[in-house]
Amino acid sequence: MITVESLTRKYGSFTAVDDISFTALPGRVTGFLGPNGAGKSTTMRVMVGLTRPTAGSVTISGRRFRDLPNPGLEVGVLLDASAQHAGRTGREILTITQRTMGLPARRVPEMLERVGLTVTEAERRVRDYSLGMRQRLGIATALIGDPEVLILDEPANGLDPAGIRWMRDLLRGYADRGGTVLLSSHLLHEIEVIADDIVMIGNGRIVSQGTKTELLHAAGTLVRAADLNGLERALVAQGLTASPTGDGALRTDADPAQVGKVALQAGFALTDLRPAAGAGLEEMFLQLTAGTQRDGAAA
């Protein structure tokens, strides 16, 4: 479990992280979503003691990171896959981690296999690695201590579609075994596919957080019917919100079951009924970050 409490980090007059609080729970994948420069990486660096907070605190399983006797055994961290000595081989980088943590040597080949790096690839120097291979090596470094908490900054960057799928399954499996997974991304789709809980951040502040289902629900329902105006009146009469989207559909905050029931009772034949999910989170992402992200006006 990761607990972030009233965390603030300032650089001079610039506030990179502004009084944020959230919890990443065991058994769940928590997606840390926000546009570039929103403060995700700063928050994650504070979590693992690389950056000092200006105020507030982060605890991992109840302890500050620097109080963990052998942090690699409790927390797997991947902040920047490219931050490695370019002259070392992949195997050597993993071996240094294994030695530092005091793990048996067999963990190195085990992890290389787990992340799908071949023996030949492991013997190559990291400067010759693609970003995808570096990410795999970074994941191996994070997993080698069999930690119960994973903190991953943009882990899907540079992975091909098969690699993204592999990463998703791996993290899902980790969470299903009771692990805590916190991963950041500036890509909504990535988070939408894998996360159970979402923390959305813009300009250093949390703009929204909750379970994915809650957030999807909040995005509402899209409904189409032959008599759109009649349906709208029926919904409003039931105390539900409804507004035309402008392309022949209604958008409502009610869930699809409720909308269907209202339509049935009022006798309207529906032509389309679905959660406003596909575009839902994205719309929310753009809305919520519109005021804060760089090219907000375009959103």
Partner 1 sequence: MTAIDGTIASAGTPAVDGLTTIDGTTAGQPGYVRSPRPTVRRIPLVRLTQVELRKMFDTRSGFWLMASIVISSLIATGAVILFAPDKELTYSSFGAAIGFPMAVILPMIAILSVTSEWSQRSGLTTFTLVPHRGRVILAKAIASVGIGVVSMLLALAIGALGNLAGTAVNGTPQVWDITVMDALLIVLGNVLGLLIGFMLGLVIRNSPGAIVAYFVYSFVLPTIFLVLAANQDWFRHLQPWVDVTYAQSPLFAADGALTGQQWANIAVTGVFWLLAPLLVGLRLVTRSEVK
d(CA 30, CA 122) in angstroms, rounded, equals: 31
96 binds partner 1 (CB under 8 A): yes
Q: What are phi and psi of 54, to 5 degrees?
A: -75, -35
Per the CB < 8 A criterion, the answer to whether 202 and 35 are in contact is yes
Residue 86: CB minimum distance to partner 1, A: 7
Rg, C-alpha atoms of the chain: 23
DSSP H stretches of helix in 144-251 = 161-176, 188-194, 212-219, 228-237
189 binds partner 1 (CB under 8 A): no
Q: Is 135 or 141 the residue whose CB approaches partner 1 more closely? A: 141
Stretch that binds partner 1, among 76-84, 200-208, 226-234, 282-290 (CB under 8 A): 76-84
103 binds partner 1 (CB under 8 A): yes
Instruction: Among 13, 14, 66, 295, indicate the residue that binds partner 1 (CB under 8 A).
Output: 66
Q: Is 15 or 61 the residue whose CB approaches partner 1 more closely? A: 61
Q: Max alpha carbon distance in the chain (Å)? A: 71
Q: Is 64 or 294 the residue whose CB approaches partner 1 more closely? A: 64
d(CA 251, CA 245) in angstroms, rounded, equals: 6
Q: Is 83 or 298 the residue whose CB approaches partner 1 more closely? A: 83
Q: What are phi and psi of 80, to 5 degrees?
A: -155, 110
**Of residues 112-141, those binding partner 1 (CB under 8 A):** 141
Residue 74: CB minimum distance to partner 1, A: 8
Per the CB < 8 A criterion, the answer to whether 83 and 154 are in contact is no
Per the CB < 8 A criterion, the answer to whether 151 and 75 are in contact is yes
Instruction: Among 6, 21, 36, 50, indicate the residue that binds partner 1 (CB under 8 A).
Output: 50
65 binds partner 1 (CB under 8 A): yes
90 binds partner 1 (CB under 8 A): no
Instruction: Among 5, 92, 196, 282, indicate the residue that binds partner 1 (CB under 8 A).
Output: 92
88 binds partner 1 (CB under 8 A): yes
Beta 14-24 vs 2-11: how paired, if at all?
antiparallel
173 binds partner 1 (CB under 8 A): no
